Chain A
Amino acid sequence: MSDVVDVSATAGSSQPTSPAGAVKAVPLRHPWRWIAAVIVLLVAAELIYTIVTAKTLRWDIVGRYLFQGLILNGVGLTIELTAIAMAIGVALGIVLAVMRLSPNPVVAGASWFYIWFFRGTPVLVQIFFWYNLNSLFPQGAGLDIPGTAIGFHLDTNTLVPPIVAVILGLGLNEAAYMAEIVRAGIISVEHGQTEAAQALGMRRLQVMRRIVLPQAMRVIIPPTGNETISMLKTSSLAFIAAVPELFTRSEQISSSNFDIIELLFVASIWYLFMTSLLTFGQYYVERYFARGAQRELPLTPLQRFRRMLFTFHAPPAAAAIAAASAVDQRGDGP
Chain B
Amino acid sequence: MTAAPMVKAEAVHKRFGRLEVLRGIDLEVQPREVMCLIGPSGSGKSTFLRCINHLEKIDAGRLSVDGELVGYAQRGDKLYELPDGEVCRKRSEIGMVFQRFNLFPHMTALENVIEAPIHVKGEARSAAEQRGRQLLGRVGLADKVDCYPNQISGGQQQRVAIARALAMQPKLMLFDEPTSALDPELVGEVLDAMRALALDGMTMIVVTHEMGFAREVGDSLVFMDGGVIVEAGAPREVLAKPRHERTKSFLSKVL
The residue that B148 contacts in the complex, of A190, A211, A289, A291, with Cβ under 8 A, is A291
Given the interface contacts A200-B168, A204-B84, A295-B151, does A215 sit within 8 Å of B105 by beta carbon? yes
Contact A292 B106 (CB under 8 A): yes
Residues of A within 8 Å of B91, CB to CB, are 198-201
Q: Which residues of chain B are within 8 angstroms of A193 by Cβ–Cβ distance?
A: 102, 104
Chain B residues with CB below 8 A from A304, complex form: none
Q: Which residues of A contact B94 (CB under 8 A)?
A: 199
| B164 adjacent to A200 (CB under 8 Å) | yes
Give chain B's interface residue range (CB within 8 Å of chain A).
20 to 34
A198–B91 alpha-carbon span in the complex (Å): 8
Given contacts A201-B120, A203-B84, contact A196 B89 (CB under 8 A): no
The residue of chain B having its C-beta at the shortest distance from the C-beta of A290 within the complex is B106
- Smallest distance from the beta carbon of B180 to chain A beta carbons, Å? 14
**Inter-chain contact A198/B120, CB cutoff 8 Å:** no
Knowing A201-B116, A206-B119, A292-B107, the reply to whether A196 touches B98 (Cβ < 8 A) is yes
A197-217 interface with B by 8 A CB criterion: 197-204, 206, 210-211, 214-215
B85 within 8 A of A: yes
For B120, list chain A residues within 8 Å (CB). Answer: 200-202, 206
* 1/0 contact string of A95-122 vs chain B (CB within 8 Å): 0000000000000000000000000000
Chain A, 150-204, CB within 8 A of any chain B CB: 190, 192-193, 195-204
Chain A contacts for B89, CB-based, 8 A: 201
How long is the Cα–Cα vector from A12 to B102 in the complex, in angstroms?
43
Q: Are B102 and A192 in contact (CB under 8 A)?
A: yes
Given A201-B116, A203-B88, the answer on whether A196 and B148 have CB atoms closer than 8 Å is: no
Please, how many angstroms separate the alpha-carbon atoms of A190 and B98 in the complex?
13
Q: In the bound complex, what is the Cα–Cα distance between A295 and B161 (angstroms)? A: 19
Interface residues of A in 255-295 (CB under 8 A from B): 289, 291-295
Report A101 CB to chain B, min CB distance, Å.
16
Contact B92 A201 (CB under 8 A): yes
**Contacting pair A200 B84 (CB below 8 A):** no
User: Is B119 a contact partner of A202 (Cβ separation < 8 A)?
Assistant: yes
Question: Could you tell me the distance in whole angstroms from the C-beta of B66 to the nearest C-beta in chain A?
Answer: 15
Q: Do residues A192 and B98 form an inter-chain contact, with CB atoms below 8 A?
A: yes
- Check if A201 sits within 8 Å of B98, measured CB to CB: no
Bound together, the chains give a CA A199 to CA B115 distance in angstroms of: 12
Q: Which residues of B contact A215 (CB under 8 A)?
A: 104-106
Cβ contact of A202, chosen from B96, B116, B164, cutoff 8 A: B116
- B100-144 at interface with A (beta carbon < 8 Å): 100, 102-107, 115-116, 119-120
| Residue with the greatest number of chain B CB neighbours at <10 A, chosen from A192, A294, A295 | A192
Specify which chain A residues have a CB less than 8 angstroms from the CB of B105 in the assembled complex.
215, 292-293
Shortest distance from the beta carbon of B83 to any chain A beta carbon, whole Å: 10
Within the complex, the shortest CB–CB distance from B241 to chain A, in Å, comes to 37
Known contacts: A200-B168, A291-B148. The answer to whether A195 contacts B84 by CB under 8 A is no
Map CB proximity to A onto B72-104 as digits: 1 under 8 Å, 0 otherwise.
000000000000110011011111101010111
Most buried by A among B92, B98, B104, B107: B104
A202 to B55, CA, bound (A): 12
Q: Using CB atoms, name the residue of chain B closest to A293.
A: B105
> Which residues on the A side are within 8 Å of B98 (C-beta)?
192, 195-196, 199
* Closest chain A residue, CB of each to CB of B88: A201
Whether a CB of chain A sits under 8 angstroms from the CB of B227 is: no
In the complex, what's the smallest C-beta–C-beta distance from B252 to chain A, in angstroms?
33
Cα distance, A295 to B88, chains bound together (Å): 33
Give B7 Cβ to nearest chain A Cβ, in Å: 15
A97 to B25, CA, bound (A): 39
Interface membership of B203, Cβ < 8 A: no
- How many Å lie between the Cα of A292 and that of B150 in the bound state? 6
Given contacts A199-B91, A200-B91, A201-B89, contact A211 B100 (CB under 8 A): no
Q: How far is the CA of A128 from the CA of B186 in the complex (A)?
A: 65
CB distance from A198 to the nearest CB of B (A): 7
Complex: A200 Cα to B164 Cα, angstroms: 9
A212 to chain B, nearest CB (A): 10
Q: How far is the CA of A94 from the CA of B94 in the complex (A)?
A: 32
With a cutoff of 8 Å between Cβ atoms, the chain A residues found around residue B154 in the complex are none
CA distance A214 to B112 in the complex (A): 14
Taken together as a complex, chains A and B put the C-alpha atoms of A136 and B55 apart, in Å, by: 51
Bound-state CA distance A196–B94 (Å) is 12
Q: Is B220 an interface residue (CB 8 A)?
A: no
* CA gap between A198 and B95 in the complex, in Å: 11
Residue among A201, A211, A294 facing the most chain B CB atoms (10 A cut-off): A201
Q: A193-B102, A196-B102, A199-B94 are in contact. Are A292 and B88 (CB under 8 A)?
A: no
Q: Which residue of A lies closest to B99 (CB)?
A: A192
Q: Which residues of A contact B (CB under 8 A)?
A: 190, 192-193, 195-204, 206, 210-211, 214-215, 289, 291-295
A-B contact pairs, 8 of them (CB 8 A): A192-B100, A199-B165, A201-B93, A203-B85, A210-B115, A214-B106, A292-B106, A292-B150
20 extra interchain contacts, Cβ-Cβ under 8 A, other than A198-B55, A198-B88, A200-B120?
Answer: A193-B102, A195-B55, A195-B102, A196-B98, A197-B104, A198-B91, A199-B53, A200-B164, A201-B93, A201-B168, A202-B88, A202-B116, A203-B84, A210-B115, A289-B106, A292-B105, A292-B106, A292-B107, A292-B150, A293-B105
